[in-house]
Structure 1
Amino acid sequence: MAWTKYQLFLAGLMLTTGSINTLSAKWADLFSAKGCHDDPEHDFSHPFVQAVGMFLGEFSCLVVFYILLFHDKSRPEPRMNPGQSFNPLLFFPPAMCDMMATSIMYVALNMTSASSFQMLRGSVIIFTGLLSVAFLGRRLLPSQWFGICVTILGLVVVGLADFISGHRDDTHKLSDVITGDLLIIMAQIIVSVQMVLEEKFVYKHDVHPLRAVGTEGLFGFVVLSLLLIPMYFIHVGSFSNTPRQVLEDALDAFCQIGHKPLILLALLGNTVSIAFFNFAGISVTKEISATTRMVLDSLRTLVIWVVSLALGWEQFHGLQVLGFLVLLLGTALYNGLHRPLLARIPWCMARMHTEEEEGSSGERDRLLDNGRAQTAEDT
């Protein structure tokens, strides 16, 4: 079945904005500028300010939701399902998980490459699978367990590539690269907790995906913006790259933006791209399939890696290619992307039918087909 022009547009929008999201965040980290009070020029290292911008992009999805709802109600026959009423505080726990995971990942992005950052985010399927078994009572298919094992192997290969590159690359210290990689994996544990919380408490309320993303963005934006105040006074010594060596110096960030406005362009690219990426991802799931969304999400890792190489942000390492392919295979196995191919083989088709009966595949498909679950990883 051929895709329509609108479906091609959505796929292109998701791939483009998803790539821009990570690349713009990394671009901001590469800037250096003077700060406040004639501070010497220093790197733009403000992960929490970047996270606030990301949540602002998510919050804009709530604005889009109400615009679409208002436009739909003006029609003679409204077609949009706004979902049932719910208590917005249901989104507070997953929003806090999102806030912690996003902040940690932006800290890690300062320490490692954009491509490794994106590849290592694939580890979320390991922890999501294990937590879904432990807390949701889901039974994973044998192919999903194999996919988790392959993903672990891919993480080892990517980590080894970063370890080797840390000895050859002057861009990042070896200790920073290793720390950054570990922080990314730790953040994926928090993301998986977010997914399980949403699955257990939120999905049953039939909340519109844009409304769900926007509500979490609102909580994250408000809470993290308020936390910037105490962060301004918390000294962390050499762990901070800011002149005052505090956890986050938002005033220094604004001063650096004033001295080098291009930083603002990078931050706006991150904010705007996350809004369009969430919208495109949800639309791809609805208009095409969740499987297509998974494939596009894997392809943006390749785009980020190629663009980073072209811009000279990192060096080529063959092990990273191998790691990417292994992670891609693990993701494909976990999400069942191999099933359409095996379905053409009679004995495989019978085996797959048995697995479906034993593994409660209906629960798995419900998780995959819900746009909000994938959105938690996307942010």
Structure 2
Amino acid sequence: MASRAAIPFLVAMMLLTGVCNTLLTKYQDMQCVRNCDAEDLAKRAYFNQPVLQTAQMFVGEMGCWLVVGLMTLFRRYGPGASPTSNGYEAVNTNDTDDANAPLVSSPADIPKPQEQDPGSILRGPRILLLALPAICDILGTTLMNIGLLLVVASIYQMTRGALVLFVGVFSVVFLRRRLFLFQWLSLVGVVVGVALVGLAGAIYHENKSKVENADEGSPESNALLTVIGVLLIAGAQIFTATQFVLEEWILERSAIEPIRVVGWEGLFGFVVTVIGMVVLHFAVGRTSAGQYGYFDMTEGWRQLTQNRAIGLSSILIMISIGYTLSLLQLTHLLRDHYAELC
């Protein structure tokens, strides 16, 4: 019952923190970092560091280890914990009943191979399996951050709705799930809605650009950039859907807590992102063509630390990344609830 009561709260937190994360990220993109005194708005340079924004997301996910530590302390020293046992539980040495009991009562009691150790899939070095969804998260988040540079926050948030289509298809193909006709129709409706949002955004920018440039006689349109942004965001949902399907597959075959999954993914994702940032900085960012670009790590760090608005919003984004934890906890609870119904 407690799990069912927590589901509405988790849904609300997922929506709230997800919206805050989008708005704060777009707020960062709107901050001027160079030539801010120029009267010509076209000469002003704004914050455009999608890779750095991906790294700050993983820092927020790594913060889940603080929650894991607090939970461990609470279980050990909180109410109901034994102050003397220190987590140790004595073994029952009375083997009289065990000696008289049969080793296997029936063939049905023989555990299946996958049931012998539910946590074995992530035991030891196999914890590195969580790097796979983390890499998908890197690719998906970076593409979405680039797309957010090209579209407004509302179009970005609506386009992310395409995620449900890819998750549904991948769940059927890889997890052998079954979707009913009304569910497929719902997915098609979502895709049509996403297409309409992208089309409306392109038409709006085209008309706006024509009005703004009517006096100059050379109307320039941002419609193409909007379409590219929508395609990047929609394409990023393929990687995000792959991440979710991998996470569900791992959670079904292990006893690991979802919050630990977030923590491990944050750690692996941060390490891979930083390594990629360093490599791309020396390969591209240091060149004249790559200066002030996505892979100029030195410039990105300068903008993050010297611009107060960007720095504060970065901290808030790290906090709002808690929506990832809410989403995984929700998936875990809904899966258990579905199992009870079946």
Normalising by structure 2, report the TM-score: 0.72
1:131 maps to amino acid:
F
Q: Distance in 1 between matches of 2:307 and 2:208?
A: 27
| Residue in structure 2 matched with residue 226 of structure 1 by the alignment | 275
2:24–2:313 Cα contact (<8 Å) kept: yes
Report whether the alignment pairs 1:278 with 2:324: yes
Q: How does 1:1-379 map to 2 (within 5 A)?
A: 13-34=13-34, 42-75=45-78, 77=80, 84=119, 86=122, 87-169=126-208, 173-235=222-284, 244=291, 246-275=293-322, 277-281=323-327, 290=334, 365=338
Deviation at 1:106, TM superposition (A): 0.7
Q: Which amino acid aligns with 2:157?
A: Q
Q: How far does the alpha carbon of each residue in 1:189-214 deviate from its partner, in whole angstroms, 9 at most, with x for none?
A: 11111222223344310221111111
Q: Which is further off, 245-254 or 151-160?
A: 245-254
What CA RMSD, in Å, does the superposition of the two structures yield over aligned residues?
A: 3.3
* Aligned counterparts of 1:364 and 1:14: Cα–Cα separation in 2: 18
Contact kept in structure 2, 1:128 and 1:195, CA below 8 Å: yes
Which entry has the higher C-alpha Rg, 1 or 2? 2
Q: Mean alpha-carbon deviation: is it higher for 99-108 or for 136-145?
A: 136-145
Q: Distance in 1 between matches of 2:46 and 2:201?
A: 22
Whether the 8 Å CA contact 1:34–1:259 is kept in 2: the answer is no
**Preserved contact between residue 91 and residue 202 of structure 1 (Cα < 8 Å):** no
Q: What SS is found at the alignment partner of 1:232?
A: helix
Q: Tell me which amino acid in the other structure corresponds to 2:25.
A: A
Identity of aligned residues (%): 32
Distance across 2 between alignment mates of 1:52 and 1:99: 8
Distance in 1 (alpha carbons) for counterparts of 2:301 and 2:128: 32
Task: State the SS of the aligned residue for 1:153.
Answer: helix
TM-score (norm 1): 0.65
Higher mean Cα deviation, 207-216 or 190-199?
A: 190-199
SS at match of 1:205: coil
How much has 1:282 moved relative to structure 2?
5.4
**SS at structure 1 position matched to 2:150:** coil
What CA distance in whole angstroms lies between the structure 2 residues aligned with 1:137 and 1:6? 28
Q: Tell me which amino acid in the other structure corresponds to 2:59.
A: L
CA distance in 1, matches of 2:58, 2:324: 12
Change (3 A) 1:153 1:15: closer
* Secondary structure, counterpart of 1:244 in structure 2: coil
- The verdict on how the C-alpha distance between 1:90 and 1:45 changes in structure 2, with shifts beyond 3 A counting, is same
Distance 1:28-1:169 versus aligned 2 partners, 3 A rule = farther
Contiguous gaps of at least 5 residues in structure 2: 36-42, 82-117, 213-220
Q: 1:127 to 1:203 in 2, by over 3 A?
A: same
Output the CA distance in 1 between the equivalents of 2:233 and 2:151: 10
CA distance in 1: counterparts of 2:11 and 2:241, whole angstroms = 25
SS across alignment from 1:33:
strand
Unaligned runs of 5+ in 1: 291-361, 367-379
Matches of 1:146 and 1:109, distance apart in 2: 28
1:84 and 1:75, CA in 2 relative to 1: closer, same or farther beyond 3 A? farther
Q: 1:49 to 1:6 in 2, by over 3 A?
A: same
Q: Distance in 2 between matches of 1:198 and 1:10?
A: 18
- Whether the aligned pair in 1 keeps the contact of 2:54 and 2:138 (CA below 8 Å) is yes
Tell whether the 8 Å contact from 2:285 to 2:295 is kept in structure 1 after alignment: no
Shift of the 280–189 alpha-carbon distance from structure 1 to 2, 3 Å rule, reads closer
2-structure distance, mates of 1:7, 1:138 = 22
Asked if structure 1 preserves the Cα contact closer than 8 Å seen for 2:304 and 2:311, the reply is: yes
Tell me how far apart the structure 2 counterparts of residues 201 and 8 of structure 1 sit (CA, whole Å): 24
**Deviation readout 1:51-108 (Å, 9 max, x if unpaired):** 1000110111122112212221223546xxxx94633212011111111111111111
